[in-house]
Amino acid sequence: NAGVTQTPKFQVLKTGQSMTLQCAQDMNHNSMYWYRQDPGMGLRLIYYSASEGTTDKGEVPNGYNVSRLNKREFSLRLESAAPSQTSVYFCASSDGPRGNQPQHFGDGTRLSIL
């Protein structure tokens, strides 16, 4: 069972470069999410998409953009990478945005910006 698949698993960028993190889910979920996790800290929500065609800002959206390409795919773009964006990025999906609908996570993209 694939679940939530994130690519790439690892990436090193130079300051100012751009890149797109890809996320796809095969569970027919309506909602998708992007989080970042820094050492010693919990997950922080960057952006989410409650349903296909909608996106909303989370707790830490600055420096990021997202695209809900279709029901399966939700990408996260860094337009001009900064060292402060060095982190582990997790994508998640759920049936819907309500509290009784669990989020299921991918294994993350480890991003280093020099």
Partner 1 sequence: DAKTTQPTSMDCAEGRAANLPCNHSTISGNEYVYWYRQIHSQGPQYIIHGLKNNETNEMASLIITEDRKSSTLILPHATLRDTAVYYCIEISNQGGKLIFGQGTELSVKP
Q: Which residues bind partner 1 (CB under 8 A)?
A: 4, 35, 42-43, 45, 58-59, 90, 92, 96-108
- Comparing CB distances to partner 1, the nearer of 24 and 106 is 106
- Comparing CB distances to partner 1, the nearer of 72 and 104 is 104
φ, ψ for residue 44, nearest 5 deg: -125, 135
Query: Sheet holding 19-25: strands in order across?
Result: 4-7, 19-25, 74-78, 64-68
- Comparing CB distances to partner 1, the nearer of 6 and 85 is 6
The answer to whether 90 and 35 are in contact (CB under 8 A) is: yes
How far apart are the C-alpha atoms of 7 and 95, rounded to whole Å?
A: 22
Minimum CB distance to partner 1, residue 52 (Å) = 17
Residue of 3, 6, 1, 28 whose CA lies nearest to 111: 6
Minimum CB distance to partner 1, residue 44 (Å) = 8
Minimum CB distance to partner 1, residue 113 (Å) = 19
Minimum CB distance to partner 1, residue 15 (Å) = 25
